[in-house]
């Protein structure tokens, strides 16, 4: 049977098409308006965000500049004091009080110090602004608030380090430092090399372990020297925290090396640096990949306000601003904020607008469904009717009526088609009829070679059981028997080829492809055994003799197709594979078995089913011996005793197959029959061996 399958064209249901067109128009108009308003609101939001964040960045930069300016002003005041200009630094309590007041009023300062051209030096530190280890290393009383170091070379006094309380009362005094010379320090030397640069750094201070800058300025009058102070950037944390926008915004300071020099969480960022070595964290430590390209773009002349997305797809706006007071240190302020927090209300309104548009579309859907259903109902019933015919659901149904002439005529044609197919399917295997319907091909003589699994069944002593019975009763009960077996065969994807008297011939993998055809065939046989047993119980209850069925199963290549004449043809399979299946069915009588299969079947599905060897035969017409096995059941459902019996028998059969001494084989057979006295296969071989032994003795 041949026929070129037609290429299936794209199609859409009548009801679906009506709903699709209706919903499409509504969505096109509604969502276009929503999109235009959405895009407009987004543009307005971003424009406003740029302007607002620029103002915030400007205010933040001014705030930071003010902090640096305050420190610078204090240095200018300190450098203008006569005591500083005249290097009157020894035992000068008024100078110490002024320096302490400046430190108290500038929390970002760690210390103030002055160095002179003759090596004189004065420094006042706020001890607790350094890390705790700094105080521990000093080994000083807890009352000490300031450390004062004085090297007064003009007075000839020895260098001394004093520890003063908050009220500048001396707590302790130690000598030194003896070898310290401010003239050798970088802050002193660089102040005269470039007096326009008032800021050095940033770097991590040795005493505090935290980043900072050094502000210094040369003395303009009096003694030659430099006034300086160390600014702790961690003191900017609270100020930077106040500059953030929303709950997730951030404000931080960075330099030209993309190092963070000030951040609300600077302490945490410093501790997270692997193998720190007193370095500053990179901007990448903020885990916002889109931020670094924005900073680089800004350095290359790009806009100061830009948008970027994080790894989760959240949109941020960033603004970068210069700090005028940092000079060549090039410290910059960056402010970033999520756009959804920046203008949360506007974004929520935008979402509400989008939700209302979708709600409008959703409200119109029920009307579209109702209209489509009313128009498509008759066509849907016709489709269901033709689908039922294709599935061979041929139950009687009323003819479909419609006021539309074309649908009325189509309903009459479908009604007639169901009657014709019902009659046609009674004489031709249903898979063939289904294939004809699906492919549109016509029946023609001819065949193809393909692998099939073939089943033959036969009822033992059928003639003896039915020859005296009423012929009409024989037909009724035999039809019931055929119906039971046919249902199980077709349920397991088999095709009932023909009924031959009380026998059934069935195929798998023809005409429809079935990659598991041998497995399905074995399961069908086991299902037939169970169904036949249940049917026999009914037969006995109705006083009808039970039908004891024998099965033969084989797999292999065969010629499959239509044979006969153009007026009358039959779909079947021909070849040695079919002949062997028929022979196997007949051999059951010799061994007292119900299901015999070929070695090809056992080799194909031995992993899924339980078999045992029966014999090695050479049927008429076959040149090579064929191993015959008995199908005992599905392996997953077999109990341990059944599996043990089959293994025991296969060990005995191996001895038979090896053609060993007859006495040894008989001993093994006797041992097996002792455990399984009713086993017909063992009885067959035992009888054969005894007869062979008796014949040998008679000849002797």
- pLDDT reported for residue 510: 85
pLDDT at 438 over 60: no
The answer to which of 394-403, 541-550, 600-609 has the lowest mean pLDDT is 394-403
C-alpha to C-alpha distance for 226 and 219, rounded to whole angstroms: 6
Q: Do residues 158 and 289 lie in contact, with contact meaning Cβ atoms separated by under 8 Å?
A: no
Burial (Cβ within 10 Å: 0-12, 13-18, ≥19) of residue 408: middle
CA-closest candidate to residue 385, choices 353, 352, 358, 419:
419
C-alpha to C-alpha distance for 254 and 280, rounded to whole angstroms: 10
pLDDT at 1 over 50: no
CA-closest candidate to residue 88, choices 124, 116, 125:
116
C-alpha to C-alpha distance for 84 and 16, rounded to whole angstroms: 93
pLDDT interval class at 440 (50, 70, 90) = very low
**What residues does 262 pair with on adjacent strands?**
253
pLDDT interval class at 422 (50, 70, 90) = low
pLDDT tens for each residue of 511-563: 888 999 999 999 999 999 999 999 999 999 999 999 999 999 999 999 988 88
Residue with the larger pLDDT of the pair 332 and 154: 332
Q: What's the mean pLDDT in 362-378?
A: 68
String of DSSP letters for 256-274: TTSBEEE-TTHHHHHHTST
E strands along 198-273, which residues? Answer: 199-204, 211-218, 225-232, 250-254, 260-262
Q: How many CB atoms lie within 10 A of CB 685?
A: 22
C-alpha to C-alpha distance for 567 and 441, rounded to whole angstroms: 17
Q: Measure Cα distances from 259 to 57, 269, 319 in Å.
A: 19, 11, 17
C-alpha to C-alpha distance for 116 and 188, rounded to whole angstroms: 9
- pLDDT reported for residue 275: 59
Q: Do residues 628 and 587 lie in contact, with contact meaning Cβ atoms separated by under 8 Å?
A: yes
- pLDDT reported for residue 379: 67
pLDDT at 494 over 70: yes
Q: In the structure encoding, which two tokens stand for residue 646, read together?
A: 């089959």
pLDDT at 601 over 60: yes
pLDDT tens for each residue of 110-144: 999 999 999 999 999 999 988 788 888 888 999 99
pLDDT tens for each residue of 66-104: 877 888 889 999 999 999 999 999 889 999 999 999 999
Q: Do residues 180 and 159 lie in contact, with contact meaning Cβ atoms separated by under 8 Å?
A: yes
Residue 331: what are its φ and ψ, rounded to 5°?
-85, 135
Q: What is the pTM of this model?
A: 0.44
- pLDDT reported for residue 432: 57
Query: How many residues make up the chain in this entry?
Result: 700
Q: Taking all residues of the chain, what is their mean pLDDT, rounded to a whole number?
A: 81
Crossing angle of helices 430-439 and 344-390, rounded to 10°? 120
pLDDT at 201 over 70: no
pLDDT tens for each residue of 658-668: 876 777 778 88
Query: Rounded to the nearest 5 degrees, what angle is found at the Cα of 566, between the Cα atoms of 563 and 570?
Result: 30
């Amino acid at each position: 049977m041949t026929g070129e399958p037609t290429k299936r064209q794209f199609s859409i249901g009548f009801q679906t098409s009506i709903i699709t067109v209706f919903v499409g128009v509504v969505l096109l108009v509604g969502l276009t308006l929503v999109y235009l308003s959405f895009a407009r609101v987004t543009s307005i939001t971003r424009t406003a965000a740029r302007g607002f964040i620029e103002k915030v960045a400007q205010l933040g930069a001014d705030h930071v500049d003010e902090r640096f300016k305050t420190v610078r002003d204090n240095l200018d005041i300190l450098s203008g004091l006569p005591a500083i200009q005249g290097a009157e630094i020894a035992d000068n309590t008024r100078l110490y009080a002024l320096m302490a007041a400046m430190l108290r009023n500038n929390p970002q300062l760690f210390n103030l110090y002055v160095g002179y051209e003759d090596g004189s030096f004065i420094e006042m530190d706020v001890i607790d602004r350094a890390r705790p280890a700094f105080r521990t290393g000093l080994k000083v009383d807890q009352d000490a608030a300031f450390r004062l170091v004085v090297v007064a070379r003009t007075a000839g006094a020895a260098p001394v380090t004093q520890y003063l309380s908050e009220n500048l009362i001396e707590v302790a005094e130690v000598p030194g430092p003896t070898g310290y010379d401010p003239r050798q320090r970088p802050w002193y030397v660089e102040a005269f090399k470039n007096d326009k640069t008032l800021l050095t750094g940033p770097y991590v201070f040795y005493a505090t372990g935290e980043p900072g800058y050094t502000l210094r300025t040369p003395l303009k009058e009096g003694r030659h020297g430099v006034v300086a102070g160390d600014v702790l950037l961690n003191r900017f944390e609270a100020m930077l925290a106040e500059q953030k926008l929303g709950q997730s915004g951030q404000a931080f300071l960075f330099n030209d090396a993309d190092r963070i020099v000030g951040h609300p969480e600077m302490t945490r960022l410093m501790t997270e640096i692997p193998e720190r070595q007193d370095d500053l964290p990179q901007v990448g430590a903020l885990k916002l990949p889109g931020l670094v390209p924005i900073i680089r773009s800004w350095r290359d002349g790009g806009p100061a306000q830009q948008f970027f997305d994080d790894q989760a797809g959240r949109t941020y706006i960033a603004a970068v601003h210069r700090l005028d007071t940092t000079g060549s240190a090039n410290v910059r302020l960056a402010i970033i904020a999520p756009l959804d927090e920046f203008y949360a209300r506007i974004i929520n309104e935008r979402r509400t607008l989008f939700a209302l548009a979708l709600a409008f579309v959703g409200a119109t859907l029920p009307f579209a469904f109702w209209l489509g259903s009313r128009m498509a109902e008759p066509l849907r019933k016709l489709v269901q009717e033709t689908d039922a015919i294709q599935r061979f659901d041929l139950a009687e149904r009323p003819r479909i009526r419609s006021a539309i002439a074309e649908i009325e005529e189509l309903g009459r044609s479908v009604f007639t088609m169901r009657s014709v197919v019902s009659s046609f399917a009674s004489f031709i295997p249903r898979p063939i009829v289904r294939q004809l319907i699906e492919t549109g091909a016509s029946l023609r003589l001819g065949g193809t070679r393909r692998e099939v699994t073939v089943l033959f069944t036969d009822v033992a002593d059928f003639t003896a059981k039915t020859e005296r019975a009423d012929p009409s009763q024989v037909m009724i009960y035999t039809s019931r028997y055929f119906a039971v077996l046919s249902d199980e065969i077709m349920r397991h994807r088999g095709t009932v080829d023909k009924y031959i008297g009380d026998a059934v011939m069935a195929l798998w993998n023809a005409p429809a492809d079935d990659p598991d055809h041998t497995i399905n065939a074995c399961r069908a046989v086991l299902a037939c055994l169970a169904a036949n047993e249940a049917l026999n119980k009914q037969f006995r209850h109705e006083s009808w003799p039970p039908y004891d069925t024998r099965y033969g199963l084989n797999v292999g290549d065969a010629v499959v197709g239509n044979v006969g004449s153009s007026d009358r043809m039959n779909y079947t399979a021909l070849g040695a594979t079919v002949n062997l299946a028929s022979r196997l069915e007949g051999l059951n009588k010799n061994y007292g078995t119900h299901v015999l299969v070929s070695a090809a079947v056992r080799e194909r599905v031995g992993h899924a089913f339980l078999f045992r060897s029966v014999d090695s035969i050479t049927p008429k017409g076959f040149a090579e011996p064929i191993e015959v096995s008995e199908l005992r059941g599905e392996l997953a459902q077999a109990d341990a005793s059944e599996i043990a019996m089959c293994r025991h028998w296969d060990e005995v059969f191996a001895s038979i197959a090896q053609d060993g001494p007859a006495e040894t084989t008989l001993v093994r057979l006797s041992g097996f029959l002792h455990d399984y006295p009713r086993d017909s296969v063992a009885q067959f071989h035992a009888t054969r061996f005894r007869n062979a032994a008796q014949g040998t003795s008679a000849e002797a």
